[in-house]
């Protein structure tokens, strides 16, 4: 069994109305006429309603998954922030040897820079996940 390969430009296409053969051109294949665009772009109202119904159904089905994922992300962000804050406190305690030396301004600026970085990271993560800070939600529920 052999398969013949032909050049698409050599193939002919019959038209429906007259039965004549019309040679395809690169412009008709790549750029449809305005009438063809209108036919392909025009969507019946029922199709659009089905699409909206599907998206509404999808949102309803994915809502429990999304809320569970958000709770997991909130827990992870809060835990990481607490751990990082505790590590910064330990670093500050460990730098107690530097009191009264010229290293104090350097260590304080490093500590401030790292603390702002941790807070900024946590705020960014909460914003991306659309999560309120744990303290804010705790006050709202009491």
> Which pLDDT score is estimated for 1?
46
Higher per-residue pLDDT: 102 or 49: 102
Reduce the secondary structure of the chain to three states and give it as a string: CCCCCCCCCCCCEECCCCCCEECCCHHHHHCCCHHHHHHHHCCCHHHHHHHHHHHHHHHHHHHHHHHHHHHHHHHHHHHHHHHHHHHHHHHHHHHHHHCCCCCHHHHHHHHHHHHHHHHHHHHHHHHHHCCCCHHHHHHHHC
Q: How far is residue 58's CA from residue 18's CA, in Å, rounded to a whole number?
A: 48
Q: What is the average pLDDT across 99-113?
A: 92
Taking only the tens place, the pLDDT of each residue in 57-75 is 788 888 888 889 999 999 9
Who's near 140: CB < 8 A, 6+ residues apart? 132
Higher per-residue pLDDT: 30 or 100: 100
Q: How far is residue 78's CA from residue 121's CA, in Å, rounded to a whole number?
A: 11
Q: What is the average pLDDT across 13-25?
A: 52
Reported pTM: 0.54
In DSSP terms, 21 is beta-bridged to 14
CB 22 within 8 A of CB 13: yes
CB 70 within 8 A of CB 130: yes
């Amino acid at each position: 069994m052999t398969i013949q390969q032909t050049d698409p430009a050599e193939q002919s296409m019959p038209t429906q109305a007259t039965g004549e053969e019309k040679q395809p051109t690169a412009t008709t294949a790549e750029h449809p006429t305005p009438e063809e665009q209108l036919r392909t772009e025009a969507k019946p109202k029922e199709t659009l309603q089905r699409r909206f119904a599907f998206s509404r159904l999808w949102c309803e089905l994915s809502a429990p998954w999304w809320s569970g994922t958000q709770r997991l992300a909130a827990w992870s962000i809060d835990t990481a922030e607490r751990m990082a804050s505790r590590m910064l406190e330990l670093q500050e305690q460990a730098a107690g040897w530097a009191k009264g030396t010229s290293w104090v301004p350097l260590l304080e600026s490093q500590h401030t820079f790292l603390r702002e970085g941790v807070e900024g990271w946590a705020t960014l993560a909460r914003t991306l996940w659309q999560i309120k800070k744990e303290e804010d939600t705790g006050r709202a529920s009491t």
